[in-house]
Amino acid sequence: MSPLKHLSFVLILTLSVLTGAESANGYYMRWSRCIYSSPDLSDMVYIDNFYINKFLFTQFNSTVGRFVGFSKNGMSLAERWNKEMFLITEGAGVDKCRYYIKIKDTPPREKTVKPKVMLSSVKQAGGRHPAMLMCSAYEFYPPHIKVSWLRDGKLMTSEVTSTMEMADGDWYYQIHSELEYTPKSGEKISCMVEHASFNKPMIYDWDPSLPESERNKIVIGASGLVLGMIIAAAGLIYYKKKSTGRILVAN
């Protein structure tokens, strides 16, 4: 369930002007709130609170559809307002809420925002492969997005880890996906991003023209991995031959 959000309007006037109350030294405050949680604003609730000296004496709630009083004077005033045109005006509060919130949130709510995608090489501690790439998508909306990895055009399903869509706090989102792999000569590694802002999946190719120091790290790592595998295989062969050549002597 989406978290509740609200938009508030506060109006403070002198007590005697609007209520005709006995104390001219008090103050009157009207606090209107628009409360909702769904993206399409279908669950909008409009609440109009009327205070005297910080005490809530009358309230209009769109889910109730009328004014309700919380004191003797408040109930008397609510009864009077429920018979006046003021009730019709308050009834239109939900539509006013939707209007103002759509204006306030138009860019992210009614439009899709394309992600900014970046491919980068990542340093890793340990791991089964000498290289790791990260595909990052930033500042996109709506949040649903799919990030995949391709190797020479074929979808990769192993050695891939991804974060969930993370909210930036300003209606936009970001996501990161990592691929751990062993580089091969002439291959093409790509990040494929699918999002509502695209009319087709977008493919971003990893540029192998890395800085010299970065290339050396990957080459050395790959060479070390291959050399380790060769040494391990040679050791296994030697062990098997030595075991086969043993002669068992009975006591």
Output the domain CATH number for residue 66: 3.10.320.10
Dump strand ranges (E) for 110-247. Answer: 116-121, 131-140, 145-151, 154-156, 160-162, 166-167, 173-181, 189-195, 202-205
Going across the sheet that includes 202-205, the strands are: 154-156, 145-151, 189-195, 202-205
Closest by alpha carbon to 47, among 100, 7, 99, 79? Answer: 7
Instruction: Say yes or no: 100 and 121 in one domain.
Output: no
pLDDT tens, the chain, 251 aa long: 445 555 555 444 433 334 444 344 556 788 888 887 777 778 888 888 888 877 888 999 888 888 999 988 889 988 988 888 777 888 788 888 888 777 666 544 457 889 999 999 887 666 677 788 999 999 998 888 999 999 999 998 888 888 888 887 677 889 999 998 888 888 999 999 999 999 999 999 998 775 544 444 544 555 555 555 666 666 666 556 665 555 444 44
**Residue 91 counted as domain residue:** yes
Instruction: Say yes or no: 39 and 77 in one domain.
Output: yes
**Residue 234 counted as domain residue:** no
**CATH code for position 124:** 2.60.40.10
Number of domains in the chain: 2
Range of the domain at 184: 116-220
**Residue 242 counted as domain residue:** no
Instruction: Say yes or no: 210 and 149 in one domain.
Output: yes
**Residue 23 counted as domain residue:** yes
**Residue 225 counted as domain residue:** no
Instruction: Say yes or no: 162 and 93 in one domain.
Output: no
Q: Is 93 strand, coil or helix?
A: helix
Last residue within a domain, chosen from 79, 104, 129? 104
Instruction: Say yes or no: 73 and 10 in one domain.
Output: yes
Instruction: Say yes or no: 123 and 99 in one domain.
Output: no
